[in-house]
Amino acid sequence: MSDHVVVVGAGIAGLAAAWSARRAGRQVTIVSRGAGASALGGGAVDDVPWEQLARAARVLGGGAGRAALPLSVGAAAFVAELELWDVPAVERAWIATVAGRLRPARGRDRALLDLGRLEGALVLLPRAGRAGWDADAIAASLAAEPFAGAGRLAFQAVDLPVLRFDDEHRIGDADLAGRHDDEARLGWLAGRLRQGIAASGAGVGAVLLGPWLGASAPRAEALSAAVGVPCGEALVGAGSPAGLRFEAARDRLLDTVGARRVRDRAIRIDDERTRDAMLRVSLAGSAAPLLADVVVLALGGLIAGGIVYSPPERRAGTELPPAGTAPFELSLDAPVALSANGADRMSVVASMHGPELDVSAWPVADRPGALEAVGVLCSGVSAGAGIYAAGDVIAGRPRTALEAVASGLAAGDATVTR
């Protein structure tokens, strides 16, 4: 049994690992600095890459891929305590995007509108003079989606005031979302939506808005209750207020379970094998390292900066690089190996200029590209003596929210059984 667990990374996977280890009674320190991929997410909670389900829907019909397996007991408990996501028991959500797509998801941030629960409904999209929100174009694109036809959903852009002040045409989504944390402002919006729905006549089943419904917590459910029909956000690919809501929910959960938080960057893990601890975690901003029995690496993949693309030519001067090296490296020094496919240790490529990215980096059909698959070589979640990995940093695993939860819980559990 491992008494002190250091988790490197405070995204979904790191949070799940810390939560699991704390629930088992371990002392947990979670180390992170800056925003990672979880903070950039749009709020979709996937178990498998959604494009696979979308392809099935195109081939088999708009309703294909609706059924889903229930969450594990541990994952269900984690989701319940996070108090951020809605993950239906056995059926996927369907979410509209600001790009005009309808896409499946195993679950969603509670601010997002779940169109999978509607059938034969008219969905209103209020016009608003904001960059990134073209209600007419989004409505037209959504109406052409196969799932909309299968569910007999109609989408209509309408003139309906949702912006109260002139600066709201220009401020960022996060700032506008933060204003709706205020009860009075949310009440103002509810009143305007009720007036617009009444003017639109019968048959309005929902209101789809931009990513503006809360920065500290999802506000869509309170808005829906006040308006009388489901209201919610469309999905933004990256940089949505959903990332802020995750960070707020994460911090609340870490406080609840009593995990210690260190805002710093881990730069090195050494195997000490001393009487007091097995591992030493050195930090960029502190002279005093953290001593740990177990370390969980949850620092993300290439998007989050946990894995760094570093071909040999990066070290070249006026001549050739001094030596051939593997083209990827972990963002901190640690006694672990990297892999491009999750099965084999990464070796030096033949070219001194790194891999041919136009051949190997990009996905082909169902095969992910190296830029998504590369990561730490693991047996399950074990990456080395006393070191476990979770989330996108693991090689060859799907980069999805629920995969991060599952591997984080497994890493946290492993600190107990070790």
Residues 6+ apart with CB under 8 A from 390: 13, 14, 16, 17, 296, 297, 298, 381, 404, 407, 408, 410, 411
Does pLDDT of 216 surpass 80? Answer: yes
Radius of gyration of the chain (CA): 23
Q: What is the pLDDT of residues 185-200, one digit of tens each?
A: 999 999 999 999 998 8
Angstrom distance (rounded) from CA 409 to CA 87: 17
DSSP state of 350: S
Of 342, 339, 360, residue with least CA distance to 403: 342
**pTM for the whole thing?**
0.92
Q: What is the pLDDT of residues 296-310, one digit of tens each?
A: 999 999 888 899 988
Ordered by where they begin, the domains of the chain are 4-39+245-252+259-417 (3.50.50.60), 56-237 (no CATH)
Of 9, 5, 4, residue with least CA distance to 301: 9
Does pLDDT of 1 surpass 80? Answer: no
Least confident of 18-32, 100-114, 337-351: 337-351
pLDDT at 365 (0 to 100): 64
Residue type at 371? Answer: L
Does pLDDT of 286 surpass 80? Answer: yes
Phi, psi of 329 (to 5 degrees): -150, 155
Does pLDDT of 334 surpass 60? Answer: yes
